[in-house]
Structure 1
């Protein structure tokens, strides 16, 4: 049985299955991989646990998003500061992805995953007991750190548990479906609990803690035990500090631009942006030095960015998620700030996302081994771009089914197709021993894209809204809850147009730069049904 690492020629980027020897030659720190022998039932439960973790990650943004007005009123948080309940989570999550991905590759993804879920449960309960703005922002950051450990570990678990074949392709497709499902399920959960639960918004965190505990217990039972630690592998702590600080400062600056005292003109915002860029450069050159001139293993193998279309796929992932995340965010504002719907009526409008995500998950699992990834990624990006475009051109007095219903269906195309194909591709390029790290890089790219997209779209929305308010001879106050609805409408439209532009740019790059990338799925099937065991089957 061959391994799942491809030989990817830089001229064509054609994905083909290579042998262990070739893969190990390309990745000197790797060892011959042995696949765990698992029954079908255990494989299903394993994929379910990892997918639920991905869903839980996205839920932490969308469910809290719908509860923001209630939280702000209860804890006396200004409107411009409410974003930190989202941003504090994203900053910690994105900043620690790469470091935890490396730790999972070295110490074992199961240990890091289960530990991350335990940490998540603790701080989710703490969020439910928060009594002020400072405490809940800190607790949210701890939630982000927890899932920053679990998500790259989940990718490492999937990559090392399934040999090449249809089951591996399906496993990654199902896992990627957890993202759009988490967005829509989180919206429903947040709206229902905020509207009807006795503890209103606090119940959102208690339910999240319960889901996290279930995932942790399930993973402890069904995930194969970690292999013995390779004592030759070490953690590049300097590189980890550089990239963690760089991502944290970048995300903090992008998220905080609108919430700062003087907006983007606040002196520390451009300063933090400049420092983050310098740290990214320092990280790159330091890792390049370790890789080329020392025997110490780097945190990130820089040469991986020049293999096939690795860098292009990262860019497409960032652009696609900048559009999808912004679309979901501004839909919430459209439903609550402009249409002034109660949370429960806003949540039901997200239901088509869940249903569509389920079916797209099945489709991508089948098509990934039959259709070139270039086509799937381009179609996905186009779908995600059309969703905010429909919201921008709609007449809000028209029926839901005319504009918003098809928009909700189209929105998850990019989230499913881009994420699934992207994860499959970077896992193939990474080679043995680097599955979790490759997944971390891709997740970090989507996280940075999300922060960048939300920052740009928020700037556009704020500027247009302010212009329209001043046209009416009024003073614009972003904390006021009596902004004229027409100004709110035009500001939202501008944000939706900008969001669509990000996705269409991703589609254009996919159509022009991914030619020849090939199919990223596999159709090989095992010869017989495996028994349930942690024993390894040689690759």
Structure 2
């Protein structure tokens, strides 16, 4: 077993307990793969991630155009952005579990085909309600692609520098997809006869390309090592319904007839919270049943969708990384959402003029992900997450203080350069960290949980800042409308600062997330042997396994 991939996580004495893996009879050896096929695999998975993120951001540059065509106010455009990440984020856990159990390649192929169909369907809608609905359905395909991608990469690349580069490249797809989606979406909207419909045609073509690439590059599925292949559908329903209701209320609270005092708004928020509480209690019960050898198992007690104990990994740092990803994407996507509306609706810039102002993000994103790919094994987690979230927070701060009459180089340029650093650093480091602390059969579902938090952060960030914008705009009493945009950015700034504080609080003393060369030669675990896995110079954790020839898989 390669001990280097355990990272620099420190364990307290209470955590130095046996970590039992499920007892598969034999974990298959990864198939031999040529360098070309490995590169094609990484490119295909990265393209899938780009398509996923571009699905959220390509529409942002088209919002003013859609608003004019359908005669909509700014607060009525929110669901065009939120519907996609909401459905995607709420279903990631379910598809992550399905991918781990029944085949990641199958799930990826089905998801990409589904996404292509409904992305194309978006371009044929002629009213905002139907477009909102199709956008929500479109997100289901994304929910299948992304967790399967994480499991495919973790399975194809055992702990090594190649894995660090593969994950860093894959992670680059998120911010690059966001930036490219905005830039290309803006250009197509400005210069094509189909205006806002043209970006959907492009996204459809890229998704089809992703489908073809996956047919060629992904290794055949291997049987899951999990002995119990049932899915917790009750948990899946409760967490999905609860999250949908809560985000719906956040987005509709300001639009309801009596705003937050509207009876159905109050009822739905209570129901959403109760469903999430039920989900947590149910998951704890299922994990307790699964861990108890004397418990009576039945069809009503499948393995939990996500083990509550997973959140405690690494002295709670697993949970901390989830929250950091959540607040960072809340800040980043809210920043993009309000900046492009500020450019087009307040400054009255054209779409292409707005796009040009986002171009520094492309270069910055490429440089940041190149840095992570090379330095992931050398730079401690705290530097990447704290600097990344802090940079995104500063970008929001610059627009919260912006002077509309100032030069582009004073506020907009530096904000564009540093805004993407949080998305790049946190996503890349987070996916490596999650893969490191998760067991082989948990890779897709653990990655799905991290992506769920990112997607929900997107929906919550846009929803929360929209509430603030509306309230300030309602009470500005003749003051310049810039105050409403600034208020939204102050809210996004608060999300970024929270991410920075969590990074400093939880990741002090934690080493790099990337692979490091092992000091000792890896050993094989057979029978019921027990060995020590070194985490740093003076901490260790015992690992027990039954008939596991190689836990690097």
Do they fold alike, i.e. is TM over 0.5? Answer: yes
CA distance 1:80–1:496, change in 2 (3 Å): closer
Q: Give me the whole-angstrom Cα distance separating, in 2, the residues matched to 1:272 and 1:99.
A: 23
Residue 519 (structure 1) aligned to one of 512, 521, 545: 512
What is the CA distance between 1:30 and its match in structure 2? 9.5
Alignment of 1:345-384 (within 5 A): 345-384=353-392
Q: What does residue 6 of structure 2 align with?
A: 6
* Of 270-279 and 280-289, the range deviating more from structure 2: 270-279
Q: Give me the whole-angstrom Cα distance separating, in 2, the residues matched to 1:35 and 1:4.
A: 19
Matched, 1:51 2:57: no
Residue 150 (structure 1) aligned to one of 114, 129, 145: 145
SS in structure 2 of the partner of residue 300 of structure 1: coil
Q: Give me the whole-angstrom Cα distance separating, in 2, the residues matched to 1:30 and 1:337.
A: 62
1:229-287: CA deviation from partner (whole Å, max 9, x where unpaired) = 56632211111111111222222222333343443333322322222221111111111
On the 8 A contact 2:85/2:456 being kept in 1, the answer is no
On the 8 A contact 1:364/1:417 being kept in 2, the answer is yes
Alignment of 1:441-460 (within 5 A): 441-460=449-468
Q: Give me the whole-angstrom Cα distance separating, in 2, the residues matched to 1:523 and 1:465.
A: 52
What is the CA distance between 1:115 and its match in structure 2? 0.6
Residue 333 (structure 1) aligned to one of 329, 335, 341: 341
Matched, 1:395 2:403: yes
Q: Give me the whole-angstrom Cα distance separating, in 2, the residues matched to 1:182 and 1:112.
A: 21
Q: What does residue 420 of structure 1 align with?
A: 428
* Of 186-195 and 450-459, the range deviating more from structure 2: 450-459
Q: What does residue 263 of structure 2 align with?
A: 267
Matched, 1:303 2:299: no
Residue 500 (structure 1) aligned to one of 479, 484, 493: 493
* Of 223-232 and 171-180, the range deviating more from structure 2: 223-232
Q: What does residue 62 of structure 2 align with?
A: 67
TM-score by length of 2: 0.87
On the 8 A contact 2:286/2:304 being kept in 1, the answer is yes
Q: Give me the whole-angstrom Cα distance separating, in 1, the residues matched to 2:25 and 2:405.
A: 60
Q: What does residue 210 of structure 1 align with?
A: 205
Q: What does residue 38 of structure 1 align with?
A: 33
Q: Give me the whole-angstrom Cα distance separating, in 2, the residues matched to 1:13 and 1:212.
A: 47
On the 8 A contact 2:154/2:435 being kept in 1, the answer is yes
Q: What does residue 189 of structure 1 align with?
A: 184
Structure 2: runs of 5 or more not aligned: 291-296, 519-549
Q: Give me the whole-angstrom Cα distance separating, in 1, the residues matched to 2:26 and 2:481.
A: 57
What is the CA distance between 1:76 and its match in structure 2? 4.4
What is the CA distance between 1:92 and its match in structure 2? 1.0
1:130-168: CA deviation from partner (whole Å, max 9, x where unpaired) = 122232122111111110111111111111110111110
CA distance 1:81–1:457, change in 2 (3 Å): closer
Aligned-residue CA RMSD (Å): 2.6
SS in structure 1 of the partner of residue 145 of structure 2: helix
Q: What does residue 286 of structure 1 align with?
A: 282
1:100-127: CA deviation from partner (whole Å, max 9, x where unpaired) = 1100101111111111110011111111
SS in structure 1 of the partner of residue 379 of structure 2: coil
On the 8 A contact 2:249/2:268 being kept in 1, the answer is yes
1:168-201: CA deviation from partner (whole Å, max 9, x where unpaired) = 0111111111121112111111211111112111
What is the CA distance between 1:50 and its match in structure 2? 1.2
Residue 246 (structure 1) aligned to one of 225, 242, 245: 242
Q: Give me the whole-angstrom Cα distance separating, in 2, the residues matched to 1:456 and 1:208.
A: 28
Matched, 1:116 2:130: no
Aligned length: 509
